[in-house]
Amino acid sequence: MKKQIIKKVLLITGIIVAILALKANAQSGQGFNILGKWYAEELDESVIEVKQDADGSVKGVIIESSNDEYVGKNVIYDCRFDAEDDSYKGKIYSVARKMEIDGTFTLEAADKLKIVGKKLFITKTFYWVRK
């Protein structure tokens, strides 16, 4: 009798663990949900098109801006999904300051992208909204 109860408990526990593992896999598999067009108010009201490059990395190019000099500039490159952190990590090019910054990109919601840029001891967080 006790063996049957233990077997049932182990079976139910195994099923729960499998379901949780599948759910975690699906969530961390957000993968390329950051692809698309994003509006960045702090970047002179620019629209950045984020797409997958031929090598599998993600890149972002300014396709519209109130500053004509910014249009066509690559602002995200060498960006890859990090399943461990459930985010993308890559490089950001600051067109205003003409410098490269390490960046982490996290999808906060379907239409809200959190970008954390780091250079030496300085960290800046800003948000883009899906266009």
- CATH C-level class of 36-130: mainly beta
Nearest CA to 92 among 49, 130, 56, 59?
59
pLDDT tens track, the chain, 131 positions: 666 666 555 546 555 544 544 444 444 444 558 999 999 999 999 999 999 988 989 999 999 999 999 999 999 999 999 999 889 999 999 998 899 999 999 999 889 999 999 999 999 999 999 98
Q: Please, which residues have CB within 8 angstroms of residue 77's CB and are 6 or more apart in sequence?
A: 57, 59, 60, 90, 91, 93
For the record, the structure tokens of 25 come out as 């896999």
pLDDT of residue 30: 47
Q: Which H, E and C letters describe the chain, residue by residue?
A: CHHHHHHHHHHHHHHHHHHHHHHHHHHHCCCCCCCEEEEECCCCCEEEEEEECCCCCEEEEEEECCCHHHCCCEEEEEEEEECCCCEEEEEEEECCCCEEEEEEEEEEECCEEEEEEEECCEEEEEEEEEC
Distance between CA atoms of residues 72 and 63, nearest Å:
6
Distance between CA atoms of residues 89 and 104, nearest Å:
5
